[in-house]
Chains A and B, each alone.
Chain A
Amino acid sequence: MIQIQNVSKTYGNSNKKAVDNLTLTVNDGEIFGFLGPNGAGKSTTIKMICGILSIDEGAISIDGIDIAQNPMEAKKHIGFVPDTHETYENLTANEFLNFIGTVYDVPSKEIKQRAEKLLSIFELDKVLNNPIKTYSHGMKQKILVVAALLHNPKVWILDEPLTGLDPQSAYQLKLMMRNHADEGNTVFFSSHVIDVVEKVCDRIAIIDNGSLVVVDTLDNIRQNKDVSLEDVFLKVTGANVEDYNG
C-alpha cells in the first residue's frame, strides 16, 4: 500500500509547486494508473515515492513505512522501473542482476531462481553476458523490469514502462502487473498511453499542474460508458480539443 498525505514539492527557487498538496492512497491488490499531461508532476511524485527526491511538505508511506523517516526499509519494499532506461550500462545483465540481488538482500538461492524465470519471460536469457549498453531501448527496459522484480517487492512502481517494448513483451508486462496485483501487491503505473491505462488499471488518478484533479475507478470517472477516458482526460486537464479538431 502507498499512502501519500498532503505532499508538496517545489524545485529550486521556483515560485510554482511541482506537486501541490497531493493526497492519495493506493491499495493492495490494485493496479493504479497515474495520468497527467507533460510537466504535470507525475515523475516528481514517483521520485518522491521512491525516495529519490526529498519531500518539502507532507508524508509518504510504503506499506506503512515512512519513506522520509525510514528510507532504507521502505525502499526494500519498492521495485522501480524508471522512464529513462538508465542503468549501469557497462555491466552485463548477469552482473547487474547479481548486484541488485545483493543490495536488496535477496537470499543467494533465490537470485538465480527468480532471475532465470524473469529473464526467460522477456527472452533475455540469450544476451545475459553482453554489456547492457549494447542492448536496444526495449531490451534495456526489460532488464530494468527484471531488476525491479528480482527482490519480489510489495510495491511496484513503473514510470512509462511500455515505451520501447515489443508487443509480446508489452503483453507479458501487463500480465505480470495483473498477477502481481492479484497476489495482494500494489502496482503504481504512470503512462501517457491512455488506452493501456484504460484496459489495465483498477483505479486511475489524473494530475494537472501539480494538483490531483480526479481519482476513482474507471467506471466512476467515465460516468457514461460512451465517454472514453481520453475525453475525460482532455476535459479535466483543460486541453482545447476544438483546436485539435480544427
Chain B
Amino acid sequence: MAKFFALVKTMFLNQQRAMVIRSNKFKKNPKGVSTWLILCIVFAPLLALMAIQMYFLGQFAIGTDVHEEVLATFMLVCQGMVFMFSIPSMLNVVFSCNDAERLLSMPLTPITIFSAKITLVYLYELATSLIMSLFILLPYGIGAGLGVQFYLFLIFAIALLPLLPLLLMSIICFPFAYLTSYLQGKGFVKTILTTLFFLTIMGAYLFFMVSVMGMEGADQDMSFSDVAVLLVNVFTKNSQKIQTFTFFNYWLATAMVSNDVATILLNFLATVGTNGVALVLAVLLSSVLYKKMLAKSLEKTSQKTKESQFLQEKQSNKLFALAICDFKRLLRESQLGFQVLAMPILIPIIMVILCVSLTLDGEMGQVWQQPLMANLAIIFITFYNWLMGISGNVLALFPISRERSSFYLMKMMPVPLMVQLKAKLLLSTAMITISYLLTAIICVIILPIEWYFVFVLTLLPILFSFGSSCVTMLLDLRKPILDWTNFQTSLKNSANTWWTMLIAFCLLLVTLMVAGVFVLLYQSAQIDLFWLLYVVLVALGVVYCLVAYSILTKNSEKYFNRIEI
C-alpha cells in the first residue's frame, strides 16, 4: 500500500506542478487566485439557479414517494458526466501513458500502477461529483426536508459517485485499449478508432438515459413550479424503470431517505457491494492485461523498408505548411487527435437531437409557425452551436500548450510569430467550419426553415468562433502549460476554458439585448425586421473578430517572449 500511495502522490504532484517558467520581468502575482475568484463569482449565479430549481423540486416532492427516484436519477446524471468525460482521461492516463517506460522499470506490480492511475483520474473527477452533489442533491434534500441521515450519506455519495462510472469505463476500455496497443506507429488509425469508440459509448449512454427517463417536452413559458410538477410526474411515471436501470444508485438513495435501520444498512451494503464487484473485476483485468498493454505501447516499429526514398512534397507557402504540419501531428497524437476529430462529428449529432426535439408535435413544434419564435429559435440554435464549438475545440483552446516539448521549434523557426499564430487560427477555424456547416445543413433539412439560413447558421458561429479563438490564443500565450504529461488532467479544467465561456456568456448577453430590440419592435408595432437582426449580428461578429484579432496582434509578441523554456 505504501507504494500505491507514494505513486498516487507523486503523479498528482507532478500533474499539479505542470507550469511554465516565466522570465523575471513578470514577477509572480496573485492573479491566478483572483482569476479563479472572478470565475467563481461569475458562474455562481448559474449554479445558484440550478440549486434553486432543485430546492423547488424537493418542496414539490414532499408528500410524494419519489425521493429515491429523484436522487437515483440525478446521481445517474452526475455519473453520466463522469462516465462520458472520463473516456479520454481513461485512455490517455491509464492505458496510453507517457510514463509507462519509467513505471515498468520500477518494482511495481501492474495492479499497483493501474490502481494508482485510476485513483488519479478519480481524484480529478471528484470535483465534478462535489459540485453536482452540492448544487443538486443537497438543495433537493433541504427542499424535501430530508433527515440527518441524508446529509451523512451525502458525504459518502460524493466520494462514491465517480467510482462506479470510472471502474465501468475502465472495464469497457480494457479490450479496446488492448487492441489499439497493437497500432503503434499508426496514430491516425488509432485516432479514428478512438473517435468511433467514443461515439459508440456516447450513443449507448444516450439510449440508456432515454430508456430511463423517456422524452418529455417542456414548454418554454414554464415557471419553476411548473417544471417541478412536471418532473415529479415524470419520476412517478418512470419509477419502475429507474429502480431497474439505476439499481446501484437506487440502493444508495434508499439508504439516504429510508426510516428503517435494517433497510438503510442493507441498501448501504448493497451499494458498497456493487462498487466492490466492479473494483474486483477491474483489478482482475488489470492483473492479466495491463502490463502487457503498457509494454506493448513501448514497442517501436521503425522497420526498414526496401524501396523507401525521399518524396518531395508540393511546396506551399509557410502559412499552409505550418497548418498542414500541425494538422498531421494532431491527428496522429492519441491524446489530442480524437478530440479534434470527434468535435465535427459530435456537435452535428447533438444538434440533430436538438432539432428533432424542436420539431416534435405539440407546443415545441408550433414554434416554427410564428415568425418571432422561429427567428429566436434560429438565433438560439446558432449560439448554442457556437458555444459548443468553442468549448470543445481543443485546437483553439490550447494552441500553444499542446506544443508541449516541441514548443522550442516555435521559437527556433525563422517564421514571424504572427504567421505561426495565423496558421493555428486557420486550422482551428477550418475544423470548426466543417462542424458548423454540417450542423447548418442538418438544421435546414430537419427544421422547416428556408435554405439560405445555411449561411446564417454557418457564418455567425464562424465569426464568433474566430474572435474567441483569438482570445483563447492570447490566454494560452499568456499562461501556457507546456510540461504536461497528460493532456486531459492538465488542461481540461484550465482557466482558458472558463474564461472562454465567460467571454461567450458576455457576448450572448449583448446578442440578447440586440435581439430584444427587434423583438420589442415586432411585438409593439408588428414590424418584421429580423433580416436586419441577422445583419446586425454579422456586423457584431465582424467587430468582435477585428477587435480580438487586433488585441492578439498587439500583445502576442510580448507574451510569447515571456515564455522561457
Q: Does A189 contact B (CB under 8 A)?
A: no
Q: Does B27 contact A (CB under 8 A)?
A: yes
Q: Does A171 contact B (CB under 8 A)?
A: no
- Interface mask (A1-33 → B, CB under 8 Å = 1, otherwise 0): 000000000111110000000000000000000
Nearest residue in B to A140 (C-beta to C-beta)?
B302
Which of the candidate stretches A107-115, A175-183, A198-206 sits at the interface with the other chain? A107-115
Contacts of A104 in B (CB 8 A): 414
Q: Taking A53-B564, A108-B315, A125-B310 as contacts, is the C-beta distance between A87 and B416 under 8 angstroms?
A: no
- Interface mask (A120-139 → B, CB under 8 Å = 1, otherwise 0): 00000111111101111001
- Are the C-beta atoms of A86 and B300 separated by less than 8 Å? no
- Are the C-beta atoms of B408 and A82 separated by less than 8 Å? yes
Q: Which of B332-356 contact A (CB under 8 A)?
A: 332-333
Q: Does A241 contact B (CB under 8 A)?
A: no
Q: Does B308 contact A (CB under 8 A)?
A: yes
- Are the C-beta atoms of A139 and B27 separated by less than 8 Å? no
Contacts of B416 in A (CB 8 A): 72
Q: How far, in angstroms, from A97 to B416 measured CA to CA in the complex?
A: 20
- Are the C-beta atoms of B23 and A11 separated by less than 8 Å? yes
Q: How far, in angstroms, from A78 to B328 measured CA to CA in the complex?
A: 26
Nearest residue in A to B301 (C-beta to C-beta)?
A134
Kindly provide the distance from the CB of B309 to the nearest chain A CB, expressed in whole angstroms.
7
Nearest residue in A to B564 (C-beta to C-beta)?
A53
- Are the C-beta atoms of B310 and A86 separated by less than 8 Å? no
- Contact among A11, A99, A115 for B310, CB-based, below 8 A: A115
- Interface mask (A52-77 → B, CB under 8 Å = 1, otherwise 0): 11101000000000000001110110
Q: Does B215 contact A (CB under 8 A)?
A: no
Contacts of A35 in B (CB 8 A): none
Q: Does A41 contact B (CB under 8 A)?
A: no
For A87, A105, A116, A126, the residue with the greatest tally of chain B CB atoms inside 10 Å of its CB is A126
Q: Does B406 contact A (CB under 8 A)?
A: yes
Contacts of A52 in B (CB 8 A): 408, 411-412, 565
Q: How far, in angstroms, from A40 to B256 measured CA to CA in the complex?
A: 63
Q: Does A209 contact B (CB under 8 A)?
A: no
Q: How far, in angstroms, from A89 to B23 measured CA to CA in the complex?
A: 28
Task: Give the interface size class of chain B.
Answer: 35 or more
- Are the C-beta atoms of A126 and B23 separated by less than 8 Å? no
Q: Does A172 contact B (CB under 8 A)?
A: no
Kindly provide the distance from the CB of A208 to the nearest chain B CB, expressed in whole angstroms.
22
Q: Taking A90-B329, A98-B313, A125-B310 as contacts, is the C-beta distance between A136 and B300 under 8 angstroms?
A: yes
Q: Does B17 contact A (CB under 8 A)?
A: no
Contacts of A84 in B (CB 8 A): 405, 408
Q: Does B305 contact A (CB under 8 A)?
A: yes
- Are the C-beta atoms of A86 and B305 separated by less than 8 Å? no
- Are the C-beta atoms of B312 and A111 separated by less than 8 Å? yes
Kindly provide the distance from the CB of B72 to the nearest chain A CB, expressed in whole angstroms.
44
Q: Taking A88-B406, A127-B305 as contacts, is the C-beta distance between A134 and B312 under 8 angstroms?
A: no
- Contact among A54, A88, A134 for B185, CB-based, below 8 A: A134
Contacts of B328 in A (CB 8 A): 90-91, 95
Q: Does B413 contact A (CB under 8 A)?
A: yes
- Are the C-beta atoms of B333 and A90 separated by less than 8 Å? yes
Q: How far, in angstroms, from A82 to B565 measured CA to CA in the complex?
A: 12
Nearest residue in A to B404 (C-beta to C-beta)?
A86
Q: Does B316 contact A (CB under 8 A)?
A: yes
Contacts of A80 in B (CB 8 A): 412
- Interface mask (B549-565 → A, CB under 8 Å = 1, otherwise 0): 00000000000010011
Contacts of A128 in B (CB 8 A): 308-311
Q: Does A102 contact B (CB under 8 A)?
A: yes
Q: Taking A102-B316, A128-B309, A130-B185 as contacts, is the C-beta distance between A86 and B406 under 8 angstroms?
A: yes
Contacts of B184 in A (CB 8 A): 134
Q: How far, in angstroms, from A138 to B98 measured CA to CA in the complex?
A: 20
Nearest residue in A to B320 (C-beta to C-beta)?
A102
Q: Which of B398-431 contact A (CB under 8 A)?
A: 405-406, 408-409, 411-416
Q: How far, in angstroms, from A31 to B22 measured CA to CA in the complex?
A: 33
- Are the C-beta atoms of B301 and A91 separated by less than 8 Å? no
- Contact among A54, A72, A127 for B308, CB-based, below 8 A: A127
Q: How far, in angstroms, from A84 to B308 measured CA to CA in the complex?
A: 27
- Are the C-beta atoms of A116 and B414 separated by less than 8 Å? no
Nearest residue in B to A98 (C-beta to C-beta)?
B313
Contacts of B300 in A (CB 8 A): 133-136
Q: Taking A102-B315, A102-B316 as contacts, is the C-beta distance between A11 and B21 under 8 angstroms?
A: yes
- Are the C-beta atoms of A103 and B321 separated by less than 8 Å? yes
- Are the C-beta atoms of B21 and A95 separated by less than 8 Å? no
Q: How far, in angstroms, from A51 to B557 measured CA to CA in the complex?
A: 13
- Contact among B304, B313, B321 for A127, CB-based, below 8 A: B304
Q: Does A212 contact B (CB under 8 A)?
A: no
- Are the C-beta atoms of B414 and A90 separated by less than 8 Å? no
- Are the C-beta atoms of A97 and B310 separated by less than 8 Å? yes
Contacts of B301 in A (CB 8 A): 130, 134
Contacts of B312 in A (CB 8 A): 98, 108, 111-112
Contacts of A112 in B (CB 8 A): 310, 312
Q: Does B187 contact A (CB under 8 A)?
A: yes
Q: Does A50 contact B (CB under 8 A)?
A: yes
Nearest residue in A to B336 (C-beta to C-beta)?
A90
- Are the C-beta atoms of B305 and A95 separated by less than 8 Å? no
- The 8 nearest A-B residue pairs measured at CB: A90-B332, A126-B304, A75-B414, A102-B321, A98-B313, A52-B411, A112-B312, A134-B302
A residues touching B (Cβ–Cβ < 8 Å)? 10-14, 47, 50-54, 56, 71-73, 75-76, 80, 82, 84, 86-91, 94-95, 97-99, 101-105, 108, 111-112, 115-116, 119, 125-131, 133-136, 139
**17 A-B Cβ contacts within 8 A?**
A12-B22, A51-B411, A75-B412, A90-B330, A91-B332, A97-B310, A102-B315, A103-B318, A103-B413, A103-B414, A116-B310, A127-B303, A128-B308, A129-B308, A130-B185, A131-B187, A134-B302
